[in-house]
């Protein structure tokens, strides 16, 4: 069942406000009172949707993972350049939340979930393109190494304030990805 438009709007405002507050202080220092005053809603509205600040944070994480998951599932079969263009535009268009999740303040659960999402999608794609056995344990280590590097580049891009243009970063990541794909194919195909 779809959420009411007002509920979606309220949740979006709460996520934005929490992201703003998290840029200033740790989650333990944020109160529901402070949050609802900034968003200009009643406490009862907050508690009708979330148990506490941590539940809202978890919801934010879920929304980001769901949105990125849609990008990955809809676009991973494209050329890598197109995929990175869509992904990096999403990150650039959501800078406040991106700073939270890709800018060093990331939770361990977010890192694990995003890693699983990308690794599984990329491994499926790579194995299909190069006819490689998906269950090869060494391949999984190689891909984890590659993805950690990609994530580190994106994190640096976000923490440095997006100083590198999207186009430059798309080109860089596409080149790395294409060369990596050829290397893996030479090792495992």
Residue 40's region, left for phi above 0, alpha for psi from -120 to 50, else beta, is left
Burial 118-135 (b: 16+ CB within 10 A, else e): bbebbbebbbeeeebeee
Rg for the chain, CA atoms, rounded: 19
Query: At CA 74, angle to CA 128 and CA 5, rounded to 5?
Result: 155
Each of the 189 residues of the chain gets a pLDDT tens digit; together they read 567 888 889 998 999 899 888 888 888 899 999 999 999 999 999 999 999 999 999 998 898 888 888 887 776 655 678 888 888 888 888 887 777 777 656 567 777 888 788 777 777 777 887 888 878 888 888 888 888 888 889 889 988 888 899 899 999 999 998 888 888 888 877
Q: What are the two backbone dihedrals, phi and then psi, of residue 119, each rounded to the nearest 5 degrees?
A: -60, -45
Residue-wise pLDDT for 58-90, tens only, equals 998 898 888 888 887 776 655 678 888 888 888
- Is residue 107 a contact partner of residue 61, using CB atoms and an 8 Å limit? yes
Alpha helices (runs of H) in 76-165, residue ranges in sequence order:
80-93, 95-102, 108-130, 137-159
Q: Class of the 1-50 domain?
A: mainly alpha
Q: What is the DSSP letter of 2?
A: P
On whether the CB atoms of residues 140 and 123 are closer than 8 A, the answer is yes
Task: Show me where the domains of the chain are located.
Answer: 1-50, 62-188
| Dihedral of the alpha carbons of 144, 132, 175, 113, in degrees to the nearest 10 | -30
């Amino acid at each position: 069942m779809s959420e009411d438009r007002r509920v979606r709007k309220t949740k979006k405002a709460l996520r934005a406000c929490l992201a703003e507050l998290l840029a200033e202080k740790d989650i333990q220092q944020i109160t529901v009172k402070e949050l609802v005053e900034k968003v200009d809603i009643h406490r009862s509205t907050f508690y009708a949707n979330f148990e506490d600040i941590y539940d809202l944070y978890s919801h934010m994480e879920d929304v980001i993972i769901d949105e990125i998951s849609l990008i990955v599932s809809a676009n991973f079969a494209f050329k890598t350049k197109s995929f990175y263009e869509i992904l990096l535009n999403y990150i650039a268009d959501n800078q406040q939340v991106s700073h939270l999740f890709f800018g060093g303040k990331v939770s361990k659960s977010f890192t694990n979930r995003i890693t699983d999402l990308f690794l599984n999608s990329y491994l499926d794609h790579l194995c299909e393109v190069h006819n490689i056995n998906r269950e090869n344990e060494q391949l999984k280590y190689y891909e984890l190494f590659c993805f950690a590097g990609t994530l580190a580049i994106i994190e640096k891009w976000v923490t440095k304030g997006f100083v590198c243009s999207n186009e430059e970063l798309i080109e860089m990541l596409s080149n790395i990805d294409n060369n990596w794909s050829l290397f893996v194919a030479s090792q495992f195909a």
